[in-house]
Amino acid sequence: MAPPSKWRVAWVTPGNSSHSLVSSRNAADASLKSFAHMAVAAQVGCSWCLDIGYFLAQNQHLDLAKASQVLRWRESEVFTPLERDVLEYAEAMTNTPPTVTDELSARLLDRLGAAAMVELTVFIAFANFATRSNTALGIESQGFSAACEVPLAGRPAHSGAASTA
């Protein structure tokens, strides 16, 4: 699947390296990026990323009711249509092979704009790198989320997420 031409322009613009997009760009909403990272972490099985992600969501004053429901976003009624698309996009990027559709990409591009779409895509790609690295190295939850008042919801028995094998 070839990315829309607006993405190509955004991607080759000076200053849009992976590092600068992940660390210093603010075109994409912080809560969307946080929820996307947690969705990737849940799918890959990185307990440390979920743990620290929830803790950081609390410290960044994000919606903890939503953060606590990321593992069961398909069943939960707390997410907006945009948030649902972002969570679906994060899981689709995480699937092996990726299962991102043109329709999903077009919806997100239309709602987010090119800069935020590129930033979100790179952020999710980085989340895949981090979660897979942490899991391979055996890095596990350190109990950060235990300091939060709202407990994380468990993943339903059938999540609908495709295999990451």
- Residue 165 confidence (pLDDT) above 70: no
Lowest mean pLDDT segment, chosen from 57-71, 91-105, 142-156: 142-156
Q: Bigger pLDDT: 150 or 57?
A: 57
pLDDT of residue 158: 55
pLDDT of residue 162: 52
Q: What is the pLDDT of residues 4-46, one digit of tens each?
A: 454 444 444 445 444 444 444 688 999 999 999 999 999 999 9
Is residue 12 one of the residues assigned to a domain?
no
Is residue 8 one of the residues assigned to a domain?
no
Is residue 97 one of the residues assigned to a domain?
yes
Q: Which domain holds residue 34?
A: 27-147
Q: What is the pLDDT of residues 28-38, one digit of tens each?
A: 999 999 999 99
Is residue 10 one of the residues assigned to a domain?
no
Q: Bigger pLDDT: 8 or 75?
A: 75
pLDDT of residue 86: 98
Q: Bigger pLDDT: 35 or 159?
A: 35
Q: What is the pLDDT of residues 128-152, one digit of tens each?
A: 999 999 899 888 888 777 766 655 5
pLDDT of residue 154: 63
Is residue 6 one of the residues assigned to a domain?
no
- Residue 103 confidence (pLDDT) above 60: yes
Find all residues with CB under 8 Å of 67, minimum gap 6, and list them: 34, 35, 38, 53, 54, 57, 58, 150
Q: What is the domain count for the chain? A: 1
Is residue 37 one of the residues assigned to a domain?
yes
Give dist(CA 2, CA 136) in Å, integer: 31
Tokens at residue 121, please? 């895509």
Q: How many CB atoms lie within 10 A of CB 13?
A: 11
Is residue 114 one of the residues assigned to a domain?
yes
The CATH number linked to 127 is: 1.20.1290.10
pLDDT of residue 80: 97
Is residue 108 one of the residues assigned to a domain?
yes
